[in-house]
């Protein structure tokens, strides 16, 4: 849901946002629409391309990774 939320915030308000997202991730517009709808999420290579293109997504993923490190260290 995190990825979907970020993609909706960044690309959802853009005119032709789904198509822009598809081009950025080098996927079909249908695949990008499925991500935006939360039907499924990007695979590894697609996620990396998205993180390269979308700073907000990169920051959110990095935040989640850091939170996980902190929680793991406190166990």
For residue 71, what are its two tokens?
Answer: 């929680």
The CATH number given to whatever domain includes residue 65 is: 1.10.260
For the stretch 27-60, pLDDT in tens is: 999 999 999 999 999 999 999 999 999 999 999 9
The pLDDT score that the predictor gives to residue 73 is: 62
Q: What's the total number of domains in the chain?
A: 1
The boundaries of the domain holding residue 45 are 2-73
Q: How far is CA 61 from the centre of its chain?
A: 8
pTM of the model: 0.80
Instruction: Report CA-CA distances (Å) from 16 to 23, 26, 38, 41, 68.
Output: 11, 15, 18, 19, 35
Over range 12-33, report the average pLDDT: 95
The pLDDT score that the predictor gives to residue 12 is: 92
């Amino acid at each position: 849901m995190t990825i979907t939320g970020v993609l909706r915030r960044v690309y959802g308000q853009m005119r032709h946002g789904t198509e822009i997202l598809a081009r950025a991730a080098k996927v079909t517009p249908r695949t990008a629409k499925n991500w935006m709808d939360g039907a499924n999420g990007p695979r590894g290579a697609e996620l990396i391309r998205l993180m390269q293109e979308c700073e907000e997504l990169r920051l959110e993923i990095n935040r989640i990774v850091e939170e996980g490190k902190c929680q793991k260290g406190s166990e």
